[in-house]
Amino acid sequence: MDLSDLLDPERIRCHCSIQSKKRTLQTLAELLGESLRARNATDDVNDDDAEGGEEKSSPRKVRKSRKQSDKAAESADTLSDMQILDALISRERLGSTGLGHGVGLPHSRLASIEEPIAAFVTLEKGVDYESVDGQPVDLVFGLLVPEHCNDEHLQILAQMARRFSDAELRDTLRGFDDPDALYEHLTSLQPVST
């Protein structure tokens, strides 16, 4: 999966003045939650527009797709930032997601989302993240994956771990002040080998 499929400039923040791991996770939860709710609101509007359009589809097909989208919207619409934060913190309790070299990769699987989504935050100063190397973390890539996507979840984590093992990339990412420019850089990178 490409970074462009996971990220969006609206879910990127640069040089945040955050001083704790918990506040970093909270920032990621807010970015992810806001985006998920906005995405579902847009999907609802598009569903309403499609039903009123001239192109006809069978009533049974419309009912089925509408029912499926209502179910997805209901669960993602009710997904709060606190639920996302709780999921990320629960995963951290199993062991730190600090990869070393100043990188954190908090992640969780949630039943109420339909596709993987990520947010990325760079910090002015690193925070204690209980990383294996003991270094403070200042690059944090938060990932949510649908609960049923275990293999895809592991593949994305492995790709991100490989990507962030590149010291030159880490240094480059720390230099960005603009989320749009950082997004363009990340999405222009060559895919990592699997």
Give the phi and the psi of residue 5 in degrees, each rounded to 5.
-80, -25
Measured CA to CA, the distance from residue 1 to residue 64 in angstroms comes to 28
15 in active site: no
Exactly one of 107, 148, 153, 185 is catalytic; name it. Answer: 107
User: Using CA of residue 106, residue 101, residue 135, residue 174, what is the dihedral sign?
Assistant: negative
HSE of 132, CA atoms in CB hemisphere, 13 A: 8
Measured CA to CA, the distance from residue 15 to residue 138 in angstroms comes to 9
Decide: helix, strand or coil at residue 62.
helix
Measured CA to CA, the distance from residue 144 to residue 157 in angstroms comes to 11
CB-based contact 29:88 (threshold 8 Å):
yes
Q: Give the catalytic positions in this structure.
A: 107
